[in-house]
Amino acid sequence: MSKLLEIIQNSDGDRLLVHFIGEMDGNADYSEISLVGVKYFEIDFSRISLINSTGVQSWVKFITDLPDHCELVLRKCSARIINQMNQFSGFLGNKKVRVESFFAPYYCESCDKGMDVLIKKEMMNKNDEVMQAPQSSCTQCGADLEFDSVASRYFSFIKRYGVLD
């Protein structure tokens, strides 16, 4: 069986930073991640190229079984991951999770090009009644970007999971 999900682990004291690279499908194997003595467990999701429904199931099983002494922090969640969080309400397995940063789709009219912009949690006003997309400008031409999705839907994970609290 080919291994489609590569897991790179960097441990620093009681902090473990893990990069997931490739495809999260039903064959993804998280068993190599050792959480003994880990207090802060951080996952970088920027390099996930695919996540499918069996991948969601095995991910949810993994996260549900996380020991309680681990505080889970997600970084650079790709739009794929955010879409799964929005579509599938059990994506975080009822764990308390913080999202430090995530990507959101924007569009530059003058370049006629779509681009994913990294949004840091400080850029969101989580007290907004309806979540608004933060202002962003094009890295190529400097023009203001338009948000290229439905903000009330795309940012709904923030309130649903309380990930910025």
Q: Which stretch binds Zn ion (CB under 5 A): 24-32, 77-85, 106-114, 119-127?
A: 106-114
Question: Residue 81: exposed, middle, or buried by beta-carbon count in 10 A (0-12, 13-18, 19+)?
Answer: buried
Length in residues, the chain: 165
**Does 141 interact with Zn ion (rule: CB under 5 A)?**
yes
Q: How many CB atoms lie within 10 A of CB 136?
A: 18
Q: Which stretch binds Zn ion (CB under 5 A): 4-12, 75-83, 100-108, 151-159?
A: 100-108
Q: How many CB atoms lie within 10 A of CB 78?
A: 18
Q: Which stretch binds Zn ion (CB under 5 A): 22-30, 34-42, 43-51, 110-118?
A: 110-118
The size of the interface with Zn ion (CB under 5 A), counted in residues, is: 7
> Which stretches within 35-150 are classed as H helix?
53-64, 79-87
**Looking at 24, 108, 119, 133, which residue binds Zn ion (CB under 5 A)?**
108
Residues that bind Zn ion (CB under 5 A): 108, 110-111, 138, 140-141, 143
